[in-house]
Structure 1
Amino acid sequence: MSKTLVMNFLNEGGSKTAIRVNNVKDGVTEAEVSAAMDVIIAKNIFTSTGGDLKDKDSAELVDKTSTELTVK
């Protein structure tokens, strides 16, 4: 099972932009995610087609489980 962190931001144009981080450690906290999002905005690390990221919108952890099937 792998976890993906999806961080949603609002850009200068008011559109939502997502940044996804794969293979997130177990036990990541809301405070850690919020702090990481603050750093991304403060350091202007990423941009989008709608401009720089300006505000936090939301975040979620997505768990993905895969089961390999034998079909031969």
Structure 2
Amino acid sequence: MAKTLELMFGTEFGKTARIAVDNPKEPVDEAAVKQSMEQIIAADVFTSASGRYVAAKGARVIDRNVVEYEIV
């Protein structure tokens, strides 16, 4: 079972950009996530094809189950 914390940011051109964090510590501390997102925006080190990150839009945990089958 693989979980990912996805941080969603509004960009300067009105689009949404995402950063994925594998295996987040649970339970997720919403206040810490919000503070971290604000620090990412303030640091202004990430950009996307849609421009700089300018606003925190949301965060979510994605839980994915993968079943692999060996085919020979």
Q: Give the length in aligned residue pairs.
A: 72
Q: Deviation above 6 Å: which 4+ runs of structure 1?
A: none
The answer to whether structure 1 residue 5 and structure 2 residue 5 are counterparts is yes
Q: 1:36 deviation in Å?
A: 1.0
Task: Confirm or deny that 1:61 pairs with 2:58.
Answer: no
- Superposition deviation, residue 57 in structure 1: 0.9
**Secondary structure at 1:56's aligned position in 2?**
strand
- CA RMSD, Structure 1 to Structure 2 (Å): 1.5
Farther off after superposition, 30-39 or 61-70: 61-70
TM (normalized to structure 1)? 0.84
Q: Which residue of the partner structure matches residue 51 of structure 1? A: 51
Structure 2: gaps (5+ residues): none
Structure 1, gaps ≥5 residues long: none
User: Distance in 1 between the 2:67 and 2:51 partners?
Assistant: 39
Q: Give 1:51 deviation, angstroms.
A: 1.3
Query: What TM-score do you get using the length of structure 2 for normalisation?
Result: 0.84
**Counterpart of 1:41 in 2: which secondary structure?**
helix
